[in-house]
């Protein structure tokens, strides 16, 4: 049998000071604003990183251009096809930026 606590309503002790009545919105409002501010700061930092360093290390070969064979009995490696042996990959943010840029360039051509 699981022990359980009895829910009893105890009257407030008049000798203790009353707790302030804090609503959820009083705490959630500033916390949400802080969260949005942190997201904006992170987004600006990531956009700057994508503008300055558009390429990152390939995750499969860790920037080496070669990676070990998956089902090999010996320690042999093969060229990385994911990055085409460059060891580089385009960052996701930069890929999104390039996609949006080509979309607006196409719209400008049509106009």
Rounded-to-10 torsion of CA 39, 100, 56, 36 = 0
φ, ψ of residue 68 to 5 degrees: the values are: -65, 145
Task: Measure the CA–CA gap between 66 and 30, rounded to whole angstroms.
Answer: 49
Which of 82/95 has CB closer to Zn ion? 82
Compute the least distance from the CB of residue 60 to Zn ion, in Å.
5
Measured distance CA(75)–CA(87) in Å, rounded: 20
- Give me the least distance between CB of 48 and Zn ion, in Å please: 25
Min separation Cβ 82 and Zn ion, Å: 5
26 vs 84, beta carbon nearer Zn ion: 84
Query: With respect to Zn ion, which residue has the nearer C-beta, 65 or 93?
Result: 65
Residues making contact with Zn ion (CB under 5 A) = 58, 60-61, 80, 82-83
């Amino acid at each position: 049998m699981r022990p359980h606590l009895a829910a009893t309503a105890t009257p407030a002790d008049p000798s203790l000071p009353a707790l302030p009545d804090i609503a959820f919105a009083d705490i959630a409002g500033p916390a949400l604003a802080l969260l949005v501010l942190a997201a904006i700061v992170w987004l600006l930092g990531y956009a700057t990183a994508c503008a300055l360093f558009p390429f990152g290390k390939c995750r499969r070969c860790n920037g080496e251009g070669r990676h070990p064979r998956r089902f090999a009995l010996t320690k042999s490696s093969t060229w990385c096809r994911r990055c085409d042996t460059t060891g580089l990959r385009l960052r996701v943010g930069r890929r999104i930026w390039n996609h949006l840029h080509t979309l607006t360039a196409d719209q400008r051509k049509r106009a």
